[in-house]
Amino acid sequence: MDEATMKHLWDFAWATPRKEYGPMSRKQKAENPAEWAGFVIRMMLLLLYLVSMICLLRYDEALRITWADITFQVKDNVIEDNWLDTSTDLFLQDTTTFRPVDFRVKLELPFRKTHQYGGIAPFYIYPDEERPWMCLVRMFAVWWVLARERCENLDGFIFRKKISTDSISVNPTDGMTSDAFLECFRNNLLDIGVDPRPYGTHSFRWGGCQFLYKVCRWDFRDICDWGGWAENFDNPGTIFKYCRGMTIPGSNGSTT
Protein backbone atom coordinates (compact mmCIF):
# COMPACT_ATOMS: atom_id res chain seq x y z
CA MET A 1 0.00 0.00 0.00
CA ASP A 2 1.37 3.43 -0.91
CA GLU A 3 0.28 7.06 -1.10
CA ALA A 4 -0.56 6.89 -4.81
CA THR A 5 -2.93 3.96 -4.25
CA MET A 6 -4.51 5.76 -1.30
CA LYS A 7 -5.14 8.82 -3.46
CA HIS A 8 -6.73 6.65 -6.16
CA LEU A 9 -9.01 5.02 -3.56
CA TRP A 10 -9.81 8.44 -2.07
CA ASP A 11 -10.72 9.89 -5.48
CA PHE A 12 -12.89 6.86 -6.29
CA ALA A 13 -14.69 7.02 -2.93
CA TRP A 14 -15.50 10.72 -3.19
CA ALA A 15 -16.73 10.23 -6.75
CA THR A 16 -19.18 7.55 -5.58
CA PRO A 17 -22.71 9.03 -5.61
CA ARG A 18 -24.74 8.92 -2.42
CA LYS A 19 -27.98 7.06 -3.02
CA GLU A 20 -30.31 4.53 -1.48
CA TYR A 21 -29.57 0.90 -2.31
CA GLY A 22 -32.32 -1.69 -2.32
CA PRO A 23 -31.92 -5.48 -2.31
CA MET A 24 -29.89 -6.69 -5.29
CA SER A 25 -30.24 -10.00 -7.10
CA ARG A 26 -27.21 -12.04 -8.15
CA LYS A 27 -27.79 -10.92 -11.73
CA GLN A 28 -27.81 -7.25 -10.70
CA LYS A 29 -24.62 -7.73 -8.68
CA ALA A 30 -22.94 -9.39 -11.67
CA GLU A 31 -24.04 -6.57 -13.97
CA ASN A 32 -22.94 -3.86 -11.51
CA PRO A 33 -19.73 -5.12 -9.84
CA ALA A 34 -18.82 -1.65 -8.53
CA GLU A 35 -22.01 -1.63 -6.43
CA TRP A 36 -20.66 -4.10 -3.90
CA ALA A 37 -20.52 -0.98 -1.67
CA GLY A 38 -21.63 2.64 -1.71
CA PHE A 39 -20.28 5.96 -0.47
CA VAL A 40 -20.71 5.21 3.25
CA ILE A 41 -18.88 1.89 3.27
CA ARG A 42 -16.07 3.27 1.11
CA MET A 43 -15.57 6.13 3.58
CA MET A 44 -15.39 3.70 6.48
CA LEU A 45 -12.80 1.67 4.58
CA LEU A 46 -10.74 4.76 3.78
CA LEU A 47 -10.53 5.56 7.49
CA LEU A 48 -9.53 1.98 8.24
CA TYR A 49 -6.78 2.05 5.61
CA LEU A 50 -5.47 5.39 6.84
CA VAL A 51 -5.41 4.62 10.55
CA SER A 52 -3.62 1.34 9.78
CA MET A 53 -1.01 3.11 7.65
CA ILE A 54 -0.43 6.26 9.68
CA CYS A 55 -0.39 4.49 13.07
CA LEU A 56 1.54 1.47 11.72
CA LEU A 57 -1.11 -1.03 12.77
CA ARG A 58 -2.08 -4.40 11.40
CA TYR A 59 -5.59 -4.20 9.99
CA ASP A 60 -6.84 -6.65 12.63
CA GLU A 61 -5.60 -4.20 15.31
CA ALA A 62 -7.34 -1.29 13.60
CA LEU A 63 -10.61 -3.22 13.54
CA ARG A 64 -10.55 -3.26 17.36
CA ILE A 65 -10.56 0.55 17.75
CA THR A 66 -13.63 1.93 19.53
CA TRP A 67 -15.11 5.41 19.73
CA ALA A 68 -13.93 5.58 23.35
CA ASP A 69 -10.34 5.39 22.08
CA ILE A 70 -10.43 8.70 20.19
CA THR A 71 -10.65 12.29 21.39
CA PHE A 72 -10.80 15.42 19.24
CA GLN A 73 -8.69 18.23 20.66
CA VAL A 74 -8.35 21.93 19.84
CA LYS A 75 -5.39 24.22 20.45
CA ASP A 76 -5.69 26.37 23.57
CA ASN A 77 -5.61 30.05 22.56
CA VAL A 78 -4.56 31.08 26.07
CA ILE A 79 -1.90 28.58 27.15
CA GLU A 80 0.82 27.79 24.64
CA ASP A 81 1.31 24.13 23.69
CA ASN A 82 -1.86 23.17 25.53
CA TRP A 83 -4.71 21.23 23.94
CA LEU A 84 -8.33 21.01 25.07
CA ASP A 85 -10.79 18.19 24.48
CA THR A 86 -13.54 19.29 22.12
CA SER A 87 -16.39 17.99 19.99
CA THR A 88 -16.13 17.01 16.36
CA ASP A 89 -18.82 19.61 15.62
CA LEU A 90 -16.33 22.39 16.37
CA PHE A 91 -13.86 20.98 13.84
CA LEU A 92 -16.56 20.71 11.18
CA GLN A 93 -18.51 23.92 11.76
CA ASP A 94 -16.41 26.67 13.34
CA THR A 95 -14.21 27.64 10.39
CA THR A 96 -14.04 31.32 11.36
CA THR A 97 -12.43 30.95 14.79
CA PHE A 98 -10.32 27.86 14.14
CA ARG A 99 -8.34 26.51 11.21
CA PRO A 100 -7.84 22.79 10.50
CA VAL A 101 -4.28 23.03 11.86
CA ASP A 102 -5.74 24.05 15.23
CA PHE A 103 -7.09 20.53 15.73
CA ARG A 104 -5.67 17.11 16.39
CA VAL A 105 -6.91 13.64 17.30
CA LYS A 106 -5.71 11.79 20.38
CA LEU A 107 -5.87 8.03 19.81
CA GLU A 108 -5.32 5.75 22.80
CA LEU A 109 -5.23 2.03 22.09
CA PRO A 110 -5.59 -0.26 25.14
CA PHE A 111 -3.95 -3.10 23.22
CA ARG A 112 -0.91 -1.04 22.20
CA LYS A 113 2.45 -1.71 23.86
CA THR A 114 2.92 0.15 27.13
CA HIS A 115 5.92 2.45 27.21
CA GLN A 116 8.69 2.24 29.77
CA TYR A 117 6.83 4.35 32.36
CA GLY A 118 3.79 2.11 32.47
CA GLY A 119 0.95 3.98 30.75
CA ILE A 120 -0.54 3.66 27.29
CA ALA A 121 1.40 5.87 24.89
CA PRO A 122 -1.21 7.69 22.76
CA PHE A 123 -0.95 8.72 19.13
CA TYR A 124 -1.34 12.47 18.57
CA ILE A 125 -2.47 12.90 14.98
CA TYR A 126 -2.35 16.24 13.19
CA PRO A 127 -4.04 17.38 9.95
CA ASP A 128 -2.26 16.94 6.64
CA GLU A 129 -3.44 19.93 4.62
CA GLU A 130 -1.09 19.21 1.71
CA ARG A 131 -2.41 15.66 1.21
CA PRO A 132 -6.12 15.42 2.10
CA TRP A 133 -6.15 11.77 0.98
CA MET A 134 -3.67 11.07 3.79
CA CYS A 135 -5.35 13.28 6.42
CA LEU A 136 -6.44 11.00 9.22
CA VAL A 137 -7.97 13.85 11.26
CA ARG A 138 -10.27 14.76 8.38
CA MET A 139 -11.29 11.13 7.82
CA PHE A 140 -12.13 10.62 11.50
CA ALA A 141 -14.39 13.68 11.27
CA VAL A 142 -16.03 12.52 8.03
CA TRP A 143 -16.74 9.07 9.43
CA TRP A 144 -18.05 10.57 12.68
CA VAL A 145 -20.67 12.48 10.66
CA LEU A 146 -21.66 9.48 8.54
CA ALA A 147 -21.81 7.10 11.51
CA ARG A 148 -23.95 9.61 13.45
CA GLU A 149 -26.50 9.51 10.62
CA ARG A 150 -26.99 5.80 11.32
CA CYS A 151 -26.30 5.48 15.05
CA GLU A 152 -27.89 7.81 17.59
CA ASN A 153 -25.14 7.27 20.14
CA LEU A 154 -21.62 6.60 18.97
CA ASP A 155 -20.03 3.98 21.17
CA GLY A 156 -18.50 0.59 20.63
CA PHE A 157 -16.56 -0.32 17.51
CA ILE A 158 -15.75 2.39 14.99
CA PHE A 159 -15.60 -0.10 12.13
CA ARG A 160 -18.95 -1.89 12.00
CA LYS A 161 -20.36 -4.90 10.24
CA LYS A 162 -21.41 -4.08 6.68
CA ILE A 163 -25.17 -4.35 6.18
CA SER A 164 -26.46 -4.79 2.63
CA THR A 165 -24.70 -2.58 0.08
CA ASP A 166 -24.12 0.65 1.95
CA SER A 167 -25.10 0.55 5.60
CA ILE A 168 -23.59 -0.51 8.92
CA SER A 169 -24.83 -2.31 12.00
CA VAL A 170 -26.26 -0.10 14.75
CA ASN A 171 -25.13 -2.65 17.36
CA PRO A 172 -22.03 -1.14 19.05
CA THR A 173 -20.50 -4.59 19.59
CA ASP A 174 -21.05 -5.70 15.99
CA GLY A 175 -17.63 -4.93 14.55
CA MET A 176 -16.36 -5.74 11.09
CA THR A 177 -14.54 -9.08 10.98
CA SER A 178 -11.13 -9.65 9.42
CA ASP A 179 -12.63 -11.85 6.70
CA ALA A 180 -15.26 -9.24 5.85
CA PHE A 181 -12.61 -6.53 5.72
CA LEU A 182 -10.38 -8.54 3.39
CA GLU A 183 -13.27 -9.13 1.02
CA CYS A 184 -14.09 -5.41 1.00
CA PHE A 185 -10.43 -4.47 0.57
CA ARG A 186 -10.02 -6.76 -2.43
CA ASN A 187 -13.18 -5.41 -4.04
CA ASN A 188 -12.02 -1.86 -3.38
CA LEU A 189 -8.69 -2.50 -5.10
CA LEU A 190 -10.50 -4.02 -8.07
CA ASP A 191 -12.55 -0.79 -8.25
CA ILE A 192 -9.39 1.07 -9.22
CA GLY A 193 -7.91 -1.66 -11.39
CA VAL A 194 -5.34 -2.94 -8.87
CA ASP A 195 -4.65 -6.66 -8.50
CA PRO A 196 -5.35 -7.47 -4.81
CA ARG A 197 -3.33 -10.71 -4.76
CA PRO A 198 0.06 -9.22 -3.74
CA TYR A 199 -1.43 -7.52 -0.68
CA GLY A 200 -0.91 -9.26 2.66
CA THR A 201 -1.24 -8.74 6.40
CA HIS A 202 1.75 -6.38 6.51
CA SER A 203 0.70 -4.15 3.61
CA PHE A 204 -0.58 -1.19 5.65
CA ARG A 205 2.24 -1.19 8.21
CA TRP A 206 4.75 -1.57 5.38
CA GLY A 207 3.12 1.27 3.46
CA GLY A 208 2.95 3.46 6.55
CA CYS A 209 6.67 3.04 7.25
CA GLN A 210 7.42 3.86 3.62
CA PHE A 211 5.23 6.96 3.75
CA LEU A 212 6.73 8.29 7.00
CA TYR A 213 10.30 7.50 5.91
CA LYS A 214 10.32 8.53 2.25
CA VAL A 215 7.54 11.13 1.99
CA CYS A 216 7.43 12.72 5.46
CA ARG A 217 11.19 12.27 5.95
CA TRP A 218 10.93 10.85 9.44
CA ASP A 219 14.03 9.48 11.13
CA PHE A 220 14.25 5.69 11.52
CA ARG A 221 14.19 5.88 15.33
CA ASP A 222 11.24 8.29 15.28
CA ILE A 223 9.30 5.74 13.24
CA CYS A 224 10.16 3.04 15.79
CA ASP A 225 9.05 5.29 18.64
CA TRP A 226 5.81 6.22 16.84
CA GLY A 227 4.99 2.58 16.17
CA GLY A 228 5.66 1.56 19.79
CA TRP A 229 8.79 -0.37 18.87
CA ALA A 230 11.39 1.83 20.57
CA GLU A 231 11.30 0.67 24.20
CA ASN A 232 13.72 -2.19 23.64
CA PHE A 233 14.27 -1.42 19.95
CA ASP A 234 12.81 -4.85 19.30
CA ASN A 235 13.07 -6.43 15.89
CA PRO A 236 14.84 -3.47 14.21
CA GLY A 237 15.67 -5.65 11.20
CA THR A 238 12.01 -5.96 10.24
CA ILE A 239 11.41 -2.24 10.72
CA PHE A 240 14.47 -1.47 8.59
CA LYS A 241 13.07 -3.69 5.84
CA TYR A 242 9.74 -1.86 6.03
CA CYS A 243 11.51 1.48 5.57
CA ARG A 244 13.74 0.22 2.76
CA GLY A 245 10.84 -1.38 0.91
CA MET A 246 12.10 -4.94 1.22
CA THR A 247 9.92 -8.06 1.27
CA ILE A 248 8.88 -9.28 4.72
CA PRO A 249 8.86 -13.08 5.06
CA GLY A 250 5.49 -14.43 6.15
CA SER A 251 3.54 -11.52 4.67
CA ASN A 252 2.45 -13.24 1.46
CA GLY A 253 5.62 -11.88 -0.13
CA SER A 254 3.95 -8.50 -0.35
CA THR A 255 5.89 -5.30 -0.81
CA THR A 256 2.81 -3.26 -1.70
Q: Along the 256 residues of the chain, how does pLDDT read in single tens digits? A: 999 999 999 999 999 998 877 666 676 766 677 789 999 999 999 999 999 999 999 899 999 999 999 999 988 877 888 888 887 766 666 555 667 778 899 999 987 755 555 566 899 999 999 999 999 999 999 999 999 998 878 899 999 999 989 999 999 999 999 999 999 999 999 999 999 998 877 789 889 999 999 999 998 888 888 887 655 445 556 666 666 665 543 444 444 5
Quote the CA–CA distance of 146 and 43 in Å, as a whole number. 9
Q: How far is CA 111 from CA 51, 68, 108, in A?
A: 15, 13, 9
Angle, CA of 135, 90 and 68, to the nearest 5°: 70
Nearest to 6 by CA among 52, 56, 60, 49: 49
DSSP 161-175: PEETTTEE-S-TT-B
Give the predicted TM-score (pTM) of the model: 0.85
Determine the number of helices (DSSP H) and then strands (DSSP E) in the chain: 10, 6
